[in-house]
Structure 1
């Protein structure tokens, strides 16, 4: 066999292996296409009466004091700051990965001396560059870029969730303050009733059973009042955690603010806004690029190296005035790794499939959150109407029982029972009002309403 033909055998073999491997590399578009199809499969949400368009979560509640709390939380919440730092770390790692596509240049200067001979100085400059024949380095860079975009979406999701939690926590403070006021009034009324029954008992007009019943009701109400005070303190501490401060007292609104009922757009528009779905989709793309990188790791690589060297007994001789140059091209390919590279490629492909299933789970959860919030709005509105009717009826009943008690037609214990029903209904109605407003904020978050930007990352 001619010598020239022998020299061509190895390059031809490497090219054949490369072409065979290229034919087996998946493009990774199948899972992203499935994700797109899943996202577009919904036609509409359930309808809501009285809904109005809103661009941001911040637009749902118009309260300057709440805006101040939101700014404080975004600046100081430790969990959000950790997420932001994770994003900055990935941005730095992306710049590190992107640098692999550029040539590497190094310079060196050395000095040596042997026995009685003079000192020899050597200077060198070398440049090396891996040619991205199969776009392996480019795919790796694209995967890192998707990681950065995914983390940015996760940061946006964490920021939106934090804003919603601050808004809901602030409403909860108002709810607990109302509960405290209702229970305080209940205790005051029961204490007065207990004293009245005690006076009647001492005058021989009441029974010991009536007195014990009154004392039991008053003691139970005082226990409920103590629980309400503790719940308010706990909520204040929970707000401090959200706001990123060790202590402090959040000002509580005397009454609930108006909370806008957000308009439910088409599902496709809603789902495109949700940052958690964006993150899940970007994770599929990143895994797809890494699958291609894993398959391309089985292909040959070509690396070029060039070097300039110069030296002599003088330091100026090492400044590359008359250098000697060299050029080296290195073509290498993995021949046998015990199945390691093939297994790594299969694992990467399975990871892409796993990311797709995670996207499906996130999508299903998003749909559930929207539909649950819509259904809850309708249900709470009906409950609120029924309780308002019950409360109005209870007030009329209380007026009637007071008149009957003055004429001796009903006992004091009967009057006390009606009073307790009235306070119970007031507390239940206030809780329903809070739940409905809280749910509207949750609906806005589920619909992908973000928060207004107030500065760079």
Structure 2
């Protein structure tokens, strides 16, 4: 009785790890961004819907259900969940059944004797979690699983941004190709006109050569644009989980740039960034893994019990009965060559590394938002300025066209005006694409809340497919 009371007192007194390290605090966010506030535009949670493009919405849905990177990420979540269950199993007693049968023949002075034996038993074992070592391991695995969910959500956000970028990139290349082909057709007609004027003695050979050079220069730009279009379409096909030969519908026009967006966003929106949440969860897992490594240096108590029955059949008669055993063991590590201390040092360094990594990620996240806000505003400003420049250039072109028809100017002046107009229109398309890119970058930098629901939805779809 005295031993039992001493054991209970010892367990109660040592119910917590005296070497337990302090837990990490959540990341501290800035109060506001450095970018100035300008508007209070509301953005939809599924950010790509702000473009009001049904084709883009449809492609996003197809990507969410067909992307192979996302599918791999969901399978990794299954692995992390299995590891969590494996770690939690140590908190429970283990029970095993054993059975054996044998037959022996033994020579003796009185002759040979034969015996048969049968034995069956149940054996149980349990490790008392004195210092929460097993609990810390389970908690670390649980935080790793939760971090895996956030990483999958971060991948969802990244994939939707990649698809939108490639979708609008393909649209930009298509618009540039259409514009270039239109100008090539115009230059072919201008070359034919210059040739007719030359034959009539109204133009010099230099005008023909210049028209030819201009036409060839424009034609030389087509292959580069077509290659860029193919790359964007291939990237889209990969995101959708399709082969490149399958047709992917893309936009032929780009959305008109609108307002500069919501530059008065609170910095607390970064709490919706799944990668920041994942980094903090990984840091919490490191806290528990460090606590488990420290607890491994302390004494451990294990209990075991067995109960069974045996039967031995002899020529002289049967021997049968029930057997049982109870045992408790106390283990205190003394000399291990520094293995446990090295494990503690490793976990301590890993914890510091992840804390530093989280701090760096937070700083970069704030910078990403500020950069995207400035880029969006400046892209819109540049687009407006190019529109003014195009208007002036169009007036100059119309004047040169009228003068050319009246014979008051040469084809070289008209070609220069047309090339200038082409360059400005091309810059307008690139400026539209730049504004869209900054919008996508801002959406990626801010994160969102829709990814958790979408992850669960895709997990359910994947489980349903496997059950069939």
Report if TM-score (shorter chain) is over 0.5.
yes
1:102 to 66, 75, 92: 92
Deviation at 1:286, TM superposition (A): 0.6
Say whether the 8 Å CA contact 1:129–1:304 is kept in structure 2: yes
1:235 to 232, 237, 244: 232
* Greater CA drift, 214-223 or 57-66: 57-66
Give the equivalent residue in structure 1 for 2:30: 41
Say whether the 8 Å CA contact 1:58–1:451 is kept in structure 2: no
* Greater CA drift, 131-140 or 47-56: 47-56
Give the equivalent residue in structure 2 for 1:358: 357
Deviation at 1:58, TM superposition (A): 4.0
Deviation at 1:406, TM superposition (A): 2.7
Deviation at 1:45, TM superposition (A): 5.2
* Greater CA drift, 288-297 or 253-262: 253-262
Say whether the 8 Å CA contact 1:143–1:285 is kept in structure 2: yes
Residue 390 of structure 2 corresponds to residue 375 of structure 1: no
Give the equivalent residue in structure 2 for 1:4: none
Give the equivalent residue in structure 1 for 2:78: 88
Residue 189 of structure 2 corresponds to residue 200 of structure 1: no
Say whether the 8 Å CA contact 1:310–1:322 is kept in structure 2: yes
Q: Please list the CA deviations of residues 362-413 of structure 1 after superposition, one character each: whole Å capped at 9, or x if unmatched.
A: 1111111100000001111111111000000011001111222233332110
**C-alpha separation between the residues in 2 aligned to 1:262 and 1:448?**
15
- Classify the secondary structure of the residue corresponding to 2:45: coil
Q: Please list the CA deviations of residues 289-339 of structure 1 after superposition, one character each: whole Å capped at 9, or x if unmatched.
A: 11101100001111000001211147xxxxxx9521110001101001122
CA distance change for structure 1 residues 425 and 265 in 2, over 3 Å: closer, same or farther?
closer
Give the equivalent residue in structure 2 for 1:180: 177
Deviation at 1:67, TM superposition (A): 2.2
Q: Which runs of 5+ in 1 are unaligned?
A: 1-6, 315-320
Say whether the 8 Å CA contact 2:299–2:331 is kept in structure 1: yes
What TM-score does the superposition give when structure 1 sets the normalisation length?
0.89
Give the equivalent residue in structure 2 for 1:328: 327
**C-alpha separation between the residues in 2 aligned to 1:119 and 1:220?**
100
Give the equivalent residue in structure 1 for 2:291: 292
Say whether the 8 Å CA contact 2:39–2:264 is kept in structure 1: no
CA RMSD of aligned residues (A): 2.5
1:32-431 alignment, distance < 5 Å: 32-33=24-25, 35-36=26-27, 39-44=28-33, 46=35, 47-49=37-39, 51-115=41-105, 116-246=113-243, 247-257=245-255, 263=262, 266-313=265-312, 323-431=322-430
Give the equivalent residue in structure 2 for 1:318: none
**C-alpha separation between the residues in 2 aligned to 1:161 and 1:449?**
12
**C-alpha separation between the residues in 1 aligned to 2:74 and 2:151?**
9
Say whether the 8 Å CA contact 1:45–1:264 is kept in structure 2: no
Deviation at 1:238, TM superposition (A): 1.2
Residue 448 of structure 2 corresponds to residue 449 of structure 1: yes
**C-alpha separation between the residues in 1 aligned to 2:127 and 2:257?**
59
**C-alpha separation between the residues in 2 aligned to 1:146 and 1:265?**
33
Give the equivalent residue in structure 2 for 1:3: none
Say whether the 8 Å CA contact 2:38–2:264 is kept in structure 1: no
**C-alpha separation between the residues in 2 aligned to 1:45 and 1:231?**
35
Deviation at 1:203, TM superposition (A): 3.1
Q: Please list the CA deviations of residues 179-236 of structure 1 after superposition, one character each: whole Å capped at 9, or x if unmatched.
A: 1110000110111111222222333333232222111110110111232222222211
Deviation at 1:64, TM superposition (A): 2.8
Say whether the 8 Å CA contact 2:177–2:226 is kept in structure 1: yes
* Greater CA drift, 142-151 or 112-121: 112-121
Say whether the 8 Å CA contact 2:49–2:57 is kept in structure 1: no
CA distance change for structure 1 residues 125 and 41 in 2, over 3 Å: closer, same or farther?
same
